[in-house]
Structure 1
Amino acid sequence: MRKAIYWFRYDLRLHDNPGWSQLVANNDWVIGVYVLPDRWLRPLRYQQKSLGIHRQHFLLESLQQLRQQLRTQGSDLMVVVGDPATALTGLVERWDVSAIATGEYPGSDEQGDVQRLRDKLDIPVRCHENFTLFDRAELPFALADLPLIFSQFRKLVEARPCSMPLPRAPNLRQPVVLEDSPCELDQWLGIMRAQQLVQPADNRRLPFHGGSTAGLAQLQYFLGEHKLISNYKNTRNDLDGWDFSSKLSPWLAMGCLSARQVVRAIKDYEQTHGANESSYWLYFELLWREYFQWLAFRFGKQLFALRGVQNKNPLLSFYPEAFAAWCAGNTGNQFVDAFMRQLAATGWMSNRGRQIVASYLINQLGVDWRYGAAWFEQQLIDYDCAANWGNWQYLAGVGTDPRGRREFNIQKQRDTYDPDGEFIQRWCGN
């Protein structure tokens, strides 16, 4: 019997998952494995954990649903907390598997996990492209020639067709039967409770729920059922609420949805209702996401360097008290504080808000941009390594913005986007 492991990482779905589909087609017995890196649960980079409360809950829900879906297809999901290379090596020996497949991801830590696993094993460990809109072979340039200005990248790729999303693979030929417990999800929940990592009750939290079913439902809600995309360009700079933006980013970041599924939905909408500025703008923002992924593939660990991809000194330092006040939403600037309290309570912040608070940390407080990026990594429910660190570099003037550091006039932003103070009252009011 040919046995294989599919190592789920940022692709917690069975549809449009080429690696899973290939393993099912070529093997009799395929088990899904998710390894939660234990490094995510302790402070490492810039005094922050990689995984905060809100994303933990979203991830747990996503894994619980993935396990149910795998079981309906004759497989199962093993969830382990530990070092990915070590955990997977042990499972290969236990189950006597002959191949491992996983999705390719641009994070340097994640690429390092794959290389260490390959060094430990003498069986194939294949990476499949499933996180980006385009495969590397579909790009009209070599990775080394990636444009360092987004508009140049956009002009080269925006009119190019991307591959159609794949359907879900058929059921396994040989059902997976495990004698021991196939999942440590319940144990993981116990660890979270013991560490008091429980999601705070707050009636202002947004209704994000993990899993591909919820992601597909939100895609239908925004583009189909309510046609909210038709006015997106006019509403996208709102600060609070559910309907003004697509809210697809958590499902994209965790891989419950693929970028290709979103583009397919945009094209379907345009064929039925006609293209407009708003439908294009959602695609435009997917291209920004795409650009940051390839930027991370090209520059690797330089994505986390103080001097950024430009190797330029941002002239920033670290001021612990100022940084702590920013994190807690106690800077004294009510507009900034409202956004930071929103983030702590919900794990989410509007794109406009992210730019405003980042500008304040960098330009008004003079704090090393990497601490802000690490705080976002811990707090955001939709954390995406490439987009998060790439955007912070961009605003700090060490990334790919040809105009240098971006400084926002905070008072002007407040007058424009919260003229009546409703947002401030909601998050800073007594």
Structure 2
Amino acid sequence: MNGLYWFRHDLRLADNPALVALSKRCSKALMLYVIDPSWFKPTNHQSKHMGRFREEFLYQSLRALEKELKKSKQRLVVKVGNPLEIIPQLCKKHDIDLVAATDHPGVYERQQLAYLNRTLSCEVMVSESFNLFLKNQISFNKEDFPQTFTQFKKKISAQNLLPCIPIAKPDSLPTLIDERRDLWGGQEFVYDLTPYHGGEDSGLVQLNQFFWKTQGLKNYKATRNGFDGWQFSSRLSAWLANGTLSVRTVAAELDNYEYRHGRSDSTEAMYSELLWREYFQWMMHFFGSSMFAFDGIKKKRPLTSFYCQNYKAWEQGTTEYPIVNACMRQLNQTGYMSNRGRQIVASCLVNELGVDWRFGAAYFEQQLLDFDVATNYGNWQYLAGVGADPRGQRHFNLEKQAKDYDPDGSFVAKWATATPSESLLRF
């Protein structure tokens, strides 16, 4: 049997049920990743789907995946174009009997798989590994979806749900089906993302560093609201977003840590963050395109619009609010912003500047190294008052936030003179 494995947000070999299943059923297989040029084109909200930092991290992750596949005498075939055109062509050319992929809650991602399932003559097999829990474990649906994170957390606890246990990588991979690669070999990385580096091994190294080598997890409860530095938070979000690291692997390691050191406020806070991620994934699964709508999942229209001058000042970090400027300049220079910073700048854009939240969400989508569609748009709806916030809207006191989380002004001072780097995209 000939197979085609379509890598998307699962750029790893470990804890990849779809890849394991394909490897057991197929004697030959093509390992595919498709780069869609539409990712690099402007959207209706001024920004591109993917900016330079995440693009660089993606290329690093693909190179790392290629290296791992070579150990099993396989290779990664990277194609450029529309996957819904490329995959049918490859299936016909190589007499593919089985296409396998990992499920993802994104609207775009689910539409793609639905189309292939309808149009391909071969079998399309989809497995779940992007979330902590499986669909058949979740007891609620769209109609009774928990309106707040607290309700979600209580439901999970009441059901006594435990995260799925991660599985090992395939014992072996099918013999490769050779195919020309459109974009591979010889790419030079323009941006230094250090200490970030894409790839499964790098994600596991960071997991090990934060949990075991440093005091990161031990002190997480006290440090997680920091603005800058490497060890104040886990920094695992970038690897989780493109699937070079499985969220189930993180949960299993957290369980192992608690077994050895006991449960603490910090480990509970860490698990709570994993559940926040999970909450937004299921929100995206059930509400789909409403996650991108101006009135959100609550169908509540905010009193905001688009003011170009205000938006540009926010984007460039030239507002009248120093803490907001520092956060935005950090984002523009590094592709990263702390969770606390993201809440502050989102509140400012919506409340102080009166700008439609979707422009901020789209800019984050372009700039963030760790962009995840469900988490990003779920959080922006939360801050804009059209999502899962029980208060209706989050309006931060910017001066108080600066005093509480940057009391000596060192973070603001560090980024006071930083200017955004010019964007460079390959498409």
**Bin for the TM-score computed over the shorter chain:** over 0.9
Tell me what 1:162 maps to: 163
Give yes or no for contact 1:45–1:374 (8 Å, CA) kept in 2: no
Give yes or no for contact 1:329–1:341 (8 Å, CA) kept in 2: yes
Tell me what 1:119 maps to: 118
Q: Secondary structure at the match of 1:33?
A: strand
The answer to whether structure 1 residue 68 and structure 2 residue 67 are counterparts is yes
Range moving further from structure 2, 270-279 or 14-23: 270-279
Tell me what 2:423 maps to: none
Q: CA deviation at 1:157?
A: 1.2
Give yes or no for contact 2:280–2:375 (8 Å, CA) kept in 1: yes
Give yes or no for contact 1:74–1:171 (8 Å, CA) kept in 2: no
The answer to whether structure 1 residue 334 and structure 2 residue 335 are counterparts is no
Tell me what 2:175 maps to: 175
Q: CA deviation at 1:118?
A: 2.6
Cα shift readout 1:31-54 (whole Å, capped 9, x = no counterpart): 211111221010124121100000
The answer to whether structure 1 residue 231 and structure 2 residue 219 are counterparts is yes
Range moving further from structure 2, 83-92 or 209-218: 83-92
Give yes or no for contact 2:30–2:177 (8 Å, CA) kept in 1: no
Q: Report 1:217-366 matches (<5 A).
A: 217-366=205-354
Flag the 1:223–1:83 CA change in 2: closer, same or farther, 3 A.
same
Give yes or no for contact 2:280–2:374 (8 Å, CA) kept in 1: yes
Give yes or no for contact 2:11–2:200 (8 Å, CA) kept in 1: yes
Higher helix residue share: 1
Give yes or no for contact 2:28–2:177 (8 Å, CA) kept in 1: no
Paired with 1:383 and 1:100, the residues of 2 have a C-alpha distance of 27
Q: CA deviation at 1:119?
A: 3.3
Tell me what 1:79 maps to: 78
Cα shift readout 1:393-413 (whole Å, capped 9, x = no counterpart): 000000011111100000001
Tell me what 2:390 maps to: 402
Paired with 1:37 and 1:115, the residues of 2 have a C-alpha distance of 18
The answer to whether structure 1 residue 39 and structure 2 residue 38 are counterparts is yes
Paired with 2:378 and 2:164, the residues of 1 have a C-alpha distance of 25
Q: CA deviation at 1:145?
A: 2.7
> Partner letter of residue 172 of structure 2?
N
Paired with 2:114 and 2:141, the residues of 1 have a C-alpha distance of 22
Paired with 2:134 and 2:182, the residues of 1 have a C-alpha distance of 32
Give yes or no for contact 2:13–2:170 (8 Å, CA) kept in 1: yes
Range moving further from structure 2, 114-123 or 292-301: 114-123
Q: CA deviation at 1:21?
A: 0.2
Range moving further from structure 2, 29-38 or 3-12: 29-38
Paired with 2:109 and 2:382, the residues of 1 have a C-alpha distance of 23
Q: CA deviation at 1:177?
A: 5.1
How many correspondences in the alignment? 416
Aligned-residue identity in percent: 44
Cα shift readout 1:50-90 (whole Å, capped 9, x = no counterpart): 00000001000000111111121132211112111111111
Gaps of 5+ in 2: 419-427
Flag the 1:353–1:290 CA change in 2: closer, same or farther, 3 A.
same
Range moving further from structure 2, 358-367 or 90-99: 90-99
The answer to whether structure 1 residue 416 and structure 2 residue 404 are counterparts is yes
Q: CA deviation at 1:144?
A: 4.1
Q: Secondary structure at the match of 2:77?
A: strand
Tell me what 2:424 maps to: none
> Partner letter of residue 31 of structure 1?
L
Paired with 2:301 and 2:140, the residues of 1 have a C-alpha distance of 29
> Partner letter of residue 36 of structure 2?
P
Paired with 2:288 and 2:404, the residues of 1 have a C-alpha distance of 37
Q: TM-score, normalised by structure 2?
A: 0.94
Give yes or no for contact 1:86–1:117 (8 Å, CA) kept in 2: no
The answer to whether structure 1 residue 55 and structure 2 residue 54 are counterparts is yes
Q: CA deviation at 1:260?
A: 0.7
> Partner letter of residue 59 of structure 2?
L
Q: Secondary structure at the match of 1:85?
A: helix
Q: Report 1:142-153 matches (<5 A).
A: 142=141, 144-153=143-152
The answer to whether structure 1 residue 216 and structure 2 residue 204 are counterparts is yes
Q: Secondary structure at the match of 2:238?
A: helix
CA-based RMSD? 1.6
Paired with 2:367 and 2:66, the residues of 1 have a C-alpha distance of 26
Flag the 1:45–1:214 CA change in 2: closer, same or farther, 3 A.
farther
Give yes or no for contact 2:284–2:291 (8 Å, CA) kept in 1: yes
Give yes or no for contact 1:5–1:32 (8 Å, CA) kept in 2: yes
Give yes or no for contact 1:46–1:371 (8 Å, CA) kept in 2: yes
> Partner letter of residue 408 of structure 1?
F
Give yes or no for contact 2:79–2:181 (8 Å, CA) kept in 1: no
Give yes or no for contact 1:143–1:294 (8 Å, CA) kept in 2: no
Cα shift readout 1:361-394 (whole Å, capped 9, x = no counterpart): 0000000000000000000000000000000000
Paired with 2:224 and 2:352, the residues of 1 have a C-alpha distance of 26
Gaps of 5+ in 1: none
Cα shift readout 1:97-131 (whole Å, capped 9, x = no counterpart): 11101111111111122222233311122221110
Q: Secondary structure at the match of 1:69?
A: helix
Q: CA deviation at 1:415?
A: 0.9
Give yes or no for contact 2:29–2:177 (8 Å, CA) kept in 1: no
Tell me what 1:94 maps to: 93
